Amino acid sequence: MEYRALGRSNLQVSKICLGTMTWGQQNSEAEAHEQMDYALEQGINFFDTAELYAVPPRPENNGLTEVYIGSWFKKSKKREQVILATKISGPRADLSFIRNHDLEYGKAQIHLALEGSLSRLQTDYIDLYQLHWPQRKTNTFGNLGYRHDPDDSWQDNCLEVLETMDALIKAGKVRHFGLSNETPWGLMHFIRLAEKHNLPVPVSVQNPYSLLNRSFEVGLAECAIREHCGLLAYSPMAFGLLSGKFHKKTDTPNDRINQFKGLARYNGALSWAATEKYLALAEQHGLTLVEMALAFVTQQKFTTSNIIGATTMEQLKENIKTAEVVLSDEVLAAIDRIQVEIPNPAP
């Protein structure tokens, strides 16, 4: 397993990160523990979760993912072997059950969210604490273009966020701070403020990135490389569409796209058309689509770690094994041609 610097920190994280959002929804506690055992054995030292998980979020499963990780820490005694990332949820009307408070990033809410995560995770500190999405209205979650809303009531509290993170780092409860679902403006705004006021800079940005969504390359890739704030890529398999199983008719009713029809981000006609082309390309070069899809994300210069997730051990083993795959220039050029033909069908 290759390890890479987490931004400007002194942490080295595995280039494959274990994603956890299905635990508590599609995976039991025992299955979650089995996944963590296996991932650690394979050299994965980086786990990512959130107070929001499991997904789709519901009151009855909220926080279960962190609970499962916490019970594994208690049982395994391996907390110190893991670089642990979690996230605080931001404003969203349908998530009022989380913390039962306004979901904003003020000092009080950050402290409340963090204490909840620490308790569920049965740990005294978080290695990487991330804002799950911007508090302001901007183009996240399926929106490519920015549409300004002059009535957006957002107040620029980014300095307060940074000051709070600084205090938590000094208190030993958080080691580093990161962003998620962020734009180039948002990332650079945080970096400028942090440098101006001598506060912690974000060490990572966790955004979607896959063969079906390369929007990160437009503005954020340059920021990530030049500012040493690399991508933690989520949904690299596009909810499993990029496994090829749906096109090969080997999918089951339990697969994510089939089970959660309301989560349609990766299930549009253009995504299916592009995936068909990527499947043919992979097979032409003796690769599985899983190998090509995950290796493409992992080997990008701006990627710090590729967040893989699985609902079965077979999937997990297949995903982790892609760490050994390096795509040729010929395959990369062919991927680019498909991207030009059907650009970013699943932003």
Q: What is the mean pLDDT of each run of 10 residues along the chain (347 residues)?
A: 98 98 97 98 98 95 97 98 98 88 89 97 98 96 94 94 98 98 98 98 98 98 98 97 93 84 83 97 98 98 98 97 98 98 96
Q: If we measure between CA atoms, which residue out of 302, 295, 345, 299 comes closest to residue 321?
A: 295
Main-chain phi, psi angles of 282, to 5 degrees: -60, -45
Roughly how many angstroms between the first and final C-alpha of the chain, as a whole number? Answer: 29
Give the model's pLDDT for residue 127.
99
- Distance, in Å, from the CA atom of 166 to the CA atom of 319, rounded to the nearest integer, reads 36
Among the listed residues 53, 68, 105, 129, the single catalytic one is: 53
Residue 105 known to be catalytic: no
Q: If we measure between CA atoms, which residue out of 197, 198, 178, 176 comes closest to residue 186?
A: 178
- Distance, in Å, from the CA atom of 216 to the CA atom of 224, rounded to the nearest integer, reads 10
Q: Across-strand partners of 206? A: 180, 232
Please check whether residue 274 is in contact with residue 342, taking contact to mean a CB–CB distance below 8 angstroms: yes
Give the model's pLDDT for residue 197.
98
Structure tokens at 231: 């991508």
- Distance, in Å, from the CA atom of 185 to the CA atom of 160, rounded to the nearest integer, reads 18
Q: If we measure between CA atoms, which residue out of 314, 335, 299 comes closest to residue 16?
A: 299
Cis peptide bond N-terminal to 56, omega within 30 = yes
- Distance, in Å, from the CA atom of 35 to the CA atom of 37, rounded to the nearest integer, reads 5
Q: If we measure between CA atoms, which residue out of 104, 134, 117, 257 comes closest to residue 207?
A: 134
Whole-number Cα distances in Å, 233 to 90, 219, 243, 303? 19, 15, 17, 7
Give the model's pLDDT for residue 287.
98
Amino acid making up residue 265: R
